[in-house]
Amino acid sequence: MYDVVIAGGGPVGLFLACELALADCSVVVLERDSDPHPPLKALPLGLRGLNAGSAETFHRRGLLEPLLKASGIDAATVGADPAADRAPGPRSVAHFAGITLDAADIDPAVTAHRLPGPAMDGFMTSLAAVGEVLTARAAALGVSVVRGAGVTAVAQDDRTVTVTAGTTRLGGSWGATADAARSAGSRTSPSPARPRCAPATSPRSPSPTRTRCPWASA
C-alpha cells in the first residue's frame, strides 16, 4: 500500500513523484514503456524546448546542472550570474506564435517575486535527457518505478485507489494520472468532476475540515 500511485513515468509523472517523495510520501510510478531509453525520446525525434520557468524549477531542486550536462549544453550559455541577489529582466521574449517582443518594453516589476538563479533563459534538450535526470532523482529519493506496466483499470472508494496494470494490482491512498489525456489511465480513472471524497484522517492531514479526493490528474 503506497501513499500515492502515479500512472505515467514521463517528465510530469517523475517530477511529481520526486516532489511527493520530498514530502515523505511513499510513491510508485507505473510506466507503460518497458524500455527506459526508447528511440523516440532521443535526438532528433525527442528534441524539446525547455522554457525559463521550467529551467528555474530544475535549478531549485539542484537538477539544472545535471540536466544541462545530459543535454550537452554549456552552462555559461544559459542565464545570468548564479550569485545575483535579484532576478534580471528577460533578455529575449517571444510570443507563442513566434512574434518577438522587445524586452525593453517589459516592466521588471512584474517579475518582482521571481527567485534569483542562473536559469533565466530556456534551452533545447531532449526527452531522453530529462528522463535520465528525473529517473536518477526518483531512485535517490526511494521512488519505485515499474516499467512495462501500462494502466488498464482504476477503481476507488472513499479511502483508497486500486490501479491495475496487466496482472499487477497496486493500492494507494491517492492516485494521479500523468500519462496523457487519451491514455488508458485517464480513460479508466474516475471522473475528476465528481470525485468521491471523505473527511481526511491521515496523520499528514489531520484537520477534519479537509477532504481527500483519492484520484487526480497531474
CATH number of 2-32+148-217: 3.50.50.60
Which of the two residues, 199 and 178, has the higher pLDDT score? 178
Residue 6: predicted pLDDT: 95
Domain boundary assignment for the chain: 2-32+148-217, 54-126
**pLDDT band (50, 70, 90) for residue 122:** confident
Residue 195: predicted pLDDT: 38
Q: Answer whether residue 106 shows pLDDT above 50.
A: yes
Tens-place pLDDT, residues 20-72: 999 999 999 999 999 988 898 999 999 998 887 788 889 889 898 899 899 99
**What would the 3-class secondary structure string for the chain be?**
CEEEEEECCCHHHHHHHHHHHHCCCCEEEEECCCCCCCHHHCCCCCEEEECHHHHHHHHHCCCHHHHHHHHCCCHHHCCCCCCCCCCCCCCCEECCCCCEECHHHCCHHHHCCCCCCCCCCCEEEEHHHHHHHHHHHHHHCCCEEEECCCCCEEEECCCCEEEEECCEEEEEEEEEECCCCCCHHHHHCCCCCCCCCEECCCCCCCCCCCEECCEEEC
Tens-place pLDDT, residues 146-173: 999 999 999 988 889 999 998 999 999 9
